[in-house]
Amino acid sequence: MDVLQLLILAVLGVLGGVLAGVAGVGGGIVFVPALVYVAGWDIKEAVAASFVIIVFSSLSGTIRNARSEDPTNWRAAALFTSTVAPASLIGVYISSVSPPSVVQVAFAGVLLALAYPTARGGVGPSGDRGKKIPVPLMLLAGVGIGALSGLVGVGGGVVMVPLMVLGMGLTTKQASSTSLAVILFTGVVASVGYTVAGFADFLSLTPLVVGSVVGAWLGVRVREWLPERALRTGFAVFMVLVALRTLGEAAGIL
């Protein structure tokens, strides 16, 4: 890996980290494409590595959130962690026994499905917080989020944030902080699962890890004033482009 690649990976790590801090997502939507298209990794290895990076980015953001105006709601975090984190091992197992094309299609599908809610902000106006989603339904959704997260290497924050707002009455910013804590524990569980499954190339992740830690810290600090709509819209476009390229590779077109 040459110096230019290392620099690009570090920059992408900062981007993923900033997104984690601002929006409460793990950053895997940035880390997986970075490893595949910049470092030339196989999609399965990139998904496994993404969780290792997510552990550091979400830890950095969670520590910084403790001093923010919208700290983590640990009750909500514990509720979601109880299903999301263990269920991530389902995705790890599916990834270990399925061909790379399955992971590629699943990853692209997640990107396309989440592009619109990402651009829109994931939730409606603050008045929508009066609508409550039953806790059993949220726990069931947590199983699905965890399994899909383990398969495609994303934390699932884009889905968890609106669920926390609608189901638990949290503000969007507090839900973002809480989502990041859930992603931290999910990342730890999934990383252990992928390590047991054979992933061991940790040294190559250094630029992304360092960049993501710095980015997550910055992301939390700028969350109060950053125009989220512009960030989300630009990122949604990025998600669609990456999804189309991934589908093209799965179909043998690219």
Overall number of domains in the chain = 1
Domain span at residue 140 reads 3-250
| Contact in structure between 9 and 40 (CB atoms under 8 Å) | no
What pLDDT, in 10s, does the model give residues 75-124?
A: 999 999 999 999 999 988 888 888 878 877 887 887 788 777 767 755 44
Per-residue pLDDT of the chain (254 residues; tens, 9 = 90+): 678 888 888 999 998 888 888 777 777 878 888 888 888 888 888 888 888 899 999 999 999 899 888 899 999 999 999 999 999 999 888 888 888 788 778 878 877 887 777 677 554 444 444 456 687 888 888 898 888 888 887 777 777 887 787 778 888 788 889 999 999 999 999 999 988 878 777 777 889 999 999 999 888 887 777 665 776 677 678 778 878 887 887 787 76
Chain centroid to CA 216: how far? 12
For 231, residues 6+ apart whose C-beta sits below 8 A from its C-beta are 19, 22, 23
What torsion, rounded to 10 degrees, do the Cα atoms 100, 103, 106, 111 define? Answer: -110
Question: What's the half-sphere exposure (Cβ side, CA atoms, 13 Å) at 50?
Answer: 34
CA distance 248 to 83: 33
Q: How far is CA 78 from CA 10, 97, 150, 249, in A?
A: 32, 30, 18, 38
Among the listed residues 91, 12, 37, 97, the one whose alpha carbon sits nearest the alpha carbon of residue 246: 37
pTM for the model: 0.78
